[in-house]
Chains A and B, each alone.
Chain A
């Protein structure tokens, strides 16, 4: 029996730049310009549920952002993950034409990462107040917005209590 994700990979053909398999999760890396088409094909292959749409900030690495789409096939019980590498000044095509549910998810990514989506009907902040400055989930955005005011004592930022170890080289 062929698995739905294999069928999809076959149908996508050239559009998939790289396949990453880690702990049974399959991630397909797709260039930005093919993304919408790939999502459409995935939707017609049975991956009809847009489970999640999010981003990762790899700062200071380049390209800076990864935009991630997670799709689920409700009938065939399969999952697939798409990833797009995106430079800081690039925009993404909006998936709202395929899934109306992408609307809020894209607004959230815009709000917290500052990634713009072309063709989004209403790209506004969703979680933060409208007049907020900056995009909190970017790595260069400070964690502590408002320090606790205890006099004569400088509180440590939580992340400094256990220092971050160096990432292992891949």
Chain B
């Protein structure tokens, strides 16, 4: 019998993208077994959300997956709206979609930067964060916060867009393709990058489905499944975009899928900006959304509605719904069980990273230690999303 070495990696390790711990069993440099140990960032979101009203719960989603904040808010808000049987006004829907796609670009930029720095391409992290800062500036302009926005409301938005929003987004998008091309030149045509990612961390389409993988991990393996296309939500059906798909299921294909997704996101935002309708940004349902400020001084009824909503919250009908969105990591779903009271009985967060991470041992079967870092980066996990 050959001698094996058990190696512990994490939970504090610069390349695990958070507090992930891996226990590796090695024979020389070859991985025989690998077990991810998770839970180091378990925050108890699901329990916490059972104790707050539906509106208060908007606080939590962006903190679960903190790289794609607006997409998280969108997922939760859409689930509650489905439970209530309402849809947000068209303008609110389009604004949500623009912000969600900007979030996707911001998140993929963090992926790109961290994946690059794991292979020692230090400058790319700086470039990616420079671009991300521009998106965060737009977010701050809209919501007042760089990351944890709390801007979406059940049935619409908190307030309308600020002046100059469209021009700002347009300016960013005009310059963005040039920068993406620059990054692609740095990486795609780089011999070291290709040698380190091509044929590394391969996951077959069959395995990806058996492990419940979604998002770029599944699409990198050649399965064209995107929630935006399969179960269109939030107005995605109105826009033209392609779903990039890889073929080999290796780290390089996942990288290519994400790069192409950024371009597709840009395409969606440009269409949405062009067709941004005028109109209300909050549903006109006093049982769901707060009455406008000007009504409060004139109408006693409005004051009562305001009081009831603030002190008690929304009372959705009893039932259970599942609504999901396509987050940068895959299918992100909220399963909400309501008993008709003002607080949910259960909020289940279907996390994409959790399932994707589970496939890590399959990707790294008979791989080498050096590939572990590449594989983790290529799944693009967010530990807050894994552990919740």
Residues of A near B320 (CB, < 8 A) are: 22, 25, 27
Residues of A near B359 (CB, < 8 A) are: 101
> Measured between C-beta atoms, what is the minimum distance from A132 to chain B in Å?
10
Query: Interface readout for B307-348 with A: 1 if CB under 8 Å, 0 if not?
Result: 000011101011111101000000101010101111101101
Q: Is the CB of A100 within 8 A of B322?
A: no
Query: Interface readout for B223-239 with A: 1 if CB under 8 Å, 0 if not?
Result: 10100001100000000
Interface residues of A in 123-170 (CB under 8 A from B): 125-129, 136-137, 141, 143, 157-159, 162, 164-168, 170
Count of A interface residues, CB-CB < 8 Å: 47
> Measured between C-beta atoms, what is the minimum distance from A62 to chain B in Å?
15
Most buried by B among A52, A81, A164: A52
Distance, CA A157 to CA B343, complexed state (A) = 15
Residues of B near A49 (CB, < 8 A) are: 209, 212, 214, 225
Q: Is the CB of B209 within 8 A of A126?
A: no
B179 on interface, CB distance cutoff 8 Å? no
Distance, CA A162 to CA B335, complexed state (A) = 23
A40 on interface, CB distance cutoff 8 Å? no
Query: Interface readout for A78-121 with B: 1 if CB under 8 Å, 0 if not?
Result: 01010000000000000000011101110010001000000000
Residues of B near A159 (CB, < 8 A) are: 51-52, 343
Distance, CA A27 to CA B38, complexed state (A) = 31
Distance, CA A127 to CA B20, complexed state (A) = 12
Distance, CA A50 to CA B337, complexed state (A) = 20
> Measured between C-beta atoms, what is the minimum distance from A34 to chain B in Å?
21
Q: Is the CB of B358 within 8 A of A101?
A: yes
B365 on interface, CB distance cutoff 8 Å? no
Q: Is the CB of B340 within 8 A of A168?
A: yes
> Measured between C-beta atoms, what is the minimum distance from B80 to chain A in Å?
11
B44 on interface, CB distance cutoff 8 Å? yes
One of B211, B340, B345 near A56 (C-beta < 8 A): B345
B46 on interface, CB distance cutoff 8 Å? yes
Q: Is the CB of A23 within 8 A of B319?
A: yes
Interface residues of B in 345-361 (CB under 8 A from A): 345-346, 348, 350, 354-355, 358-359
Given the interface pairs A25-B320, A77-B231, A168-B318, the reply to whether A128 lies near B212 with Cβ below 8 Å is no
Distance, CA A54 to CA B347, complexed state (A) = 10
Residues of A near B333 (CB, < 8 A) are: 51-52, 70
B2 on interface, CB distance cutoff 8 Å? no
B387 on interface, CB distance cutoff 8 Å? yes
Interface residues of B in 76-106 (CB under 8 A from A): 82-83, 85
B114 on interface, CB distance cutoff 8 Å? no
Distance, CA A51 to CA B388, complexed state (A) = 17
A12 on interface, CB distance cutoff 8 Å? no
Residues of B near A32 (CB, < 8 A) are: none
One of B39, B85, B213, B355 near A127 (C-beta < 8 A): B39
Nearest chain B residue, comparing its CB with the CB of A162: B53
Residues of B near A157 (CB, < 8 A) are: 51
Distance, CA A137 to CA B319, complexed state (A) = 19
A64 on interface, CB distance cutoff 8 Å? no
Distance, CA A129 to CA B350, complexed state (A) = 21
Distance, CA A77 to CA B210, complexed state (A) = 17
Q: Is the CB of A23 within 8 A of B315?
A: no
B42 on interface, CB distance cutoff 8 Å? yes
Q: Is the CB of A104 within 8 A of B52?
A: no
Q: Is the CB of A101 within 8 A of B211?
A: yes
B47 on interface, CB distance cutoff 8 Å? yes
For this complex, 15 residue pairs linking A to B, each with C-beta atoms less than 8 Å apart, are A49-B225, A50-B212, A54-B348, A56-B337, A68-B335, A101-B210, A101-B212, A101-B213, A101-B358, A127-B38, A136-B44, A162-B343, A167-B318, A167-B339, A167-B341
Given A23-B83, A52-B348, A164-B343, 10 more pairs with CB closer than 8 A: A25-B320, A49-B214, A52-B350, A54-B348, A58-B345, A68-B335, A100-B211, A103-B358, A126-B38, A165-B315
Q: Which residues of A are in contact with B by a Cβ distance under 8 Å? A: 22-23, 25, 27, 48-52, 54, 56-58, 68, 70, 72, 74, 77, 79, 81, 99-101, 103-105, 108, 112, 125-129, 136-137, 141, 143, 157-159, 162, 164-168, 170
